[in-house]
Structure 1
Amino acid sequence: MGVKLRRLEVKCFRGFSSHRVFDFPDGITLIIGPVGAGKTSILSAIQFVFFGTDFYAGLGVIQRESLVNVGCREAFVRLYFEVTGEGVYKLERRLARADGRLVEHVALETPTGEVFEGPSKVEGVIEEILGMDFQEFIRSASLSYVLVHMLAYGRSLTRSRALDILLGINAVRSFHESISLNRVRSSLERVRAELATLRSEYEEAVRNLSVLSEKRAQIASEVEDIEKRLGELSARVEALRPVAEKYESLKREIEGERSYVSKLRERVKHAPSEVDLYKILEEAEGLKHSLRDILERLKAPQKLLEALEHLTFTSENTGSALADLEKIVDEAWSHYDRVWEDFQASAREVELKKAELAALEKVLVELEPSATEYEEAEERVQELESKYGKASELEEEVRKLEQEIKETSRKIQISRSLLQLKQVLIEEASKRRSVQCQVCGTTLDSRSIEKVEEGVEQLTRSIVDLERKLSESEKRLRELREVLEDLRGLKVLLVSRELEYEKYKEYLERKESLDEEVREDEIKLREKEREYKELSAILTRVDERAHDLRRRFAEQEVVSEILKAEGRLRKLEEELAEYEPKYKEYVTAKSELDSLTKEKDSLNAQLKTLEESVVVDQVKRLEEKIHSLENELAELESLYSRLERIKSATREILTELRRKRIEELNRKINEILRAVYPAEQVRAVELEVVEKRKKGTAPTSYYEVFVEVGGTKYRFSELLSDGQKTIVVLSLLLAIYSQIRRNIDFVMLDEPLPNVDDRIKVNFLKSLSTVLDIRQAILTTQAEDIAKRIEGVNIIQL
């Protein structure tokens, strides 16, 4: 049974965002395109549709969700593959993003129409058809340049592990490496150390048994001596106990009396001299006179003054008189409050006047522009009338000037007409001997023309005089008209502003009157306020002193009680001093008794811990532990010996398996190498199993690749170029593929020779089918030119 690929359909898988179809006939298929065109994505799609992942996702290089194109929600891959003797299978796999997770659907349809669904069921069938799982597939049937690079440039140990997997002996190597002698060896060392410690403890416990009896006898003797002393001390303490109880009772009584005195003293706030009755009476009379002065200044009711006058202070009525004094002080405060309220009312009236004054000032500010305009207009009218006269006089003068200007203009017009006529006559006369005037008919000759010329000069001077007079009159008329117009406008303004001006004058007079009233009221208020505040301060001092006198009078009884309590306290302290020597003797004996009792308890506790049974039990437990550890040690030594033999046997088996696997493999490697790389530089390649030994440890075996160059044998990594290393490793992988390809009849190579020239690539492609004896090979490459140099190659151009 051989499996060959026929058609691949992809959509939204990795680099493909649209639906694409690729066909794979028998022979060689080259997938050609630049970097990023999607060549590797085609091979990844085949891996994905078979096993649900690809080379990079399987290694954890990328997340599985990265297989879905970034612009899509679901990746779709469908593969048609042919199985010799059965027909064509159709395999579909979908991977979708949904609610932050991946949802996968896979279905396999057989040539007979049977359908398998579900990842686990389908992949089980696929592994059975291909004869390999995913790991075997990507290491033999679908070779990545990453795997080639790892084998070409990796460490010897990494290369050996990969080759064991490819050659199918990884399980033996894993079993060999799982046998850990170090763990058993460390357990042996631990048990031996623990056993030595227990044996040391056992010897110490045995020695302790020999000294245990002597120690117990010594402690028992000490306990007996202490018990005798305890009996004597107990009798002594009991004899002194009544004295101690009496002493402690007196002490408690003294503490109570001291506390009582302390509390009484807290109630006394004044010195003893200040609570003297005669001093209190004297100060009370002084307060009475001060209070009378205050009441008179406040103009208090006569009833209140009479009550104060009738108040007398004697030693018999001091308490009641002081109480009456405080009542009168309270009534004085009440009267003061009423007086102060009246004062506040007066102050409020002043504030109202201030508010009115502020309102007037605001109105005056608003009216001031109109008043100023009125006054300025009135002043301008007076100025114009004083200079030009009243409006009626100006009107009369204007009429006269108008008549005068009209008459003068008429005269100038007539004079100009005469002047023009005479000038024409003179001009005509100069042309002819005589000329007749067309106006009056007079004939003029040369003699009369001279007179006419004289008349022209006079007439010219007359016209100039008339024109000057006319100009002056017109100027005067314009001036008077302007003045008259100003007077009329000013009078209109005066009429329009007259009412506002009258209000302004009225409000101004009211403001000046209020200003004076407010100033006088504020002076009176300040004087009253100063007087009332002074009276308030005096009344406050009188009030405080009246209350203080009451407190001082009340403290007289407390002072008397303090003196009595101090007398009792002195008697108790004297009695306590008599009992104190015996009490000290009691305390000393009691302390010694307690100390000996503790010492006795401590010795009894030591006796309890020194019981022979405790030490005997310890010895028995140690013996049991030692016996148990000796058995465990024997078992571990036996296990270690057996494991050493097993480890050695598996190492020999692994080495032998490796040698057997590479005997046929070396022949195939060189056959492939000579076919794909006919150059003379590398004569032969040999894969060997090399053993490495380190002092104190078992030998290890691994693969080493040697090459023959120029008749000399070299290690694979010492001499070859990067391209030659790639060719050797690729020959090795293809040789392995030829041995373990199982049921498949195709191979997929992802950029197998990236760093060799086109000639070698062409030769490799031409000889690939022959050396591997396969029907189908799919390769990716960026070298587009090599396709033109090979006949019969199927090309997928991206």
Structure 2
Amino acid sequence: IIYGTDMQRSEALDRLLGIETLEKIFRSIPLKKVEDELLKIQSEIDIINARLGREEPLDGLMEALEKYKGEFFEIEEKIKEKERILSEYRDELKKLKEKERDYEKIREKEIALKAEIAQLKKRLKSLEREVPEENFGVLIEKMRSLMASALREVMAYKDLEEIEKLELSQVDLDFIFQIFREKLKKVEIALENMNEEALDINYQLASQRNHYNNLKHRLADLEAKLYTLERDYNIYKSLTKKFGTRAEIRKKIEKLEIELGKIDNLVRLHACINNLGKHVVKTYIKKGEAICPVCETKINEEVLNRIKEKTSAPKEEIFDREKIMKDLEELRKAYLKLGELEEKILEMKELENEKNRLARELDEVSSSIEELEDMISGIDFKISKISNLVTSVSSLFSKLTRVREIAELRKELKAKKQELDRVLREAIEIEFDKNYYDIIEEKYYTTLHEYNNLDSRLKKLNLNIENLKEKIAYIQELMNKKMKLKKKAARLSALRDDLIEIKAAFREIQSSIRRTVVKRIIEKMNDLFQQMYVHPDFSELTIRIRDAKFRREGREYERSVYEILAKRTRDGKWIPALKKMSDGQKRIVILSLLTALFKLSPHNASFIILDEPTPSIDYECRKAMIKMLAKIEGIDQVIIATQDESFRRIVQDEPAALIYKLEHGKEGARIEVLR
């Protein structure tokens, strides 16, 4: 009530005032549901009207249906007439059909024979153009001669003997052709074997040529390397001529290294003497006297001059050392170079041996290539000769085959002509008028076409009639549905009006009860407020009721809300108590309201329970509240739960007051009676 919204506060007060049940009944009245159903029905009616608007008028459809039915009966009569005529033509054609079958069979034979004769003539003419007239026996003898030559070339002497002994005039032609085919096949097999042999030799020749080329490349590479190594060999000869062999150079190097050691010792000795002399001269110049550090003799001017002469550098020995160093360096380089060149000379000798071996192998491969080339030349010649013979034999054999085919075709052509004459005689013997048959058949099919057209029109009319019936039934169904929906809408509209009146009555009852109850509460609430609130700034309370609009579950509706006002003493102005007053003042206002409700509401409760009822309320108001509660009629007991110690002082003077202290420890809750 203190901290809720206007809606929450009003609903809470309605529950306390007993008006909540009326509000629930008011909200449960299904006015919105009825209105939604009315809108839904109207929408369905609009849809039906739209569908009816797209359809043709019902009267026009009924007229079209009657027209289609009339046409349907007329066409049915025409069809019956066509069926009678078709039956007559069908019987006549049946009689003619029996003769036509025999006639058509003979005609088919005639056409087939003429086609076969034309094909035979065409084939015969083509063969006669390709093969000129020639004696068959002469061609057979040519064939035997060519076949004998081919068998001789492939060394098939047994087959050759068989061909030569063959008596062509006494042997069947098919047998001769068979013999020649067998022998030709053997020659072709022998030729194929020779081709394979030639192919193998060609493979060997190609391999040898490839090997020959590889050897030539390797020999050229060796000669190039030997050419490079010959220059190194000339350098080797020049170095040995100038310095000697490596062993001789080594001895010279050792000798020069000994001489260089001697010179280095002599130079070190001169350096020591020079350093010693310089030290003595420096001491003499500095002190005016000096003692020889070797013999400890006192140095005079004469000795000092001799020391100066001796301290000059040994130029001759240094010059000899530089010359020896130069010679030694030159000999060492020559020694190393000769070592490198000796390895290359060894490599050159190995390459020369390899070159000689490759040259020998190259000669051998060259001889092998020449032999293979001779072999392949001979085989190619023989293959060419046999191939020509095989081609000639095959050509002659083909010619013989055509000559034989010409004779057979002439014989077959004669037989076909005789058969055609017999078929033509049979056709004359059958009494069948093709023209009369064609006329009857044409009339039959013309009548049948007319019958089919009429039948098609009849089916189309039947389909149109069915479609019209469906459309008429559909429109009638829509109109019936529309009528039912209008009746339903009228009933719902009447129900809606009744519900509106009922809701208005409920709202009026609510307002009346609310005003009556609030009027009684205000009087009692002010009496209690004035007893509890001991300060002079506010003197009176009131409750006003106003109508407000709220939205819940997507729908806006009106309801009454409560405003609690307090009258300010200094200017007599009414202010919103729950918005302008302090928290303590608000609690006193609400306690006054709830206590007034408690006193006015029928109940059998003889006690009041309060849990921390006075936070933010000053001591004087608390004291006034306790006194006020103690005076309420019908209340035997007031129970207050609080942590505020000031209540002990307030109730101290009340003889019937009991004070308990509740504590929580390890052993659980403990209650102590303080009074």
Using the size of structure 2 for normalisation, the TM-score is 0.49
* Structure of larger gyration radius: 2
Using the size of structure 1 for normalisation, the TM-score is 0.43
Higher helix share: 2
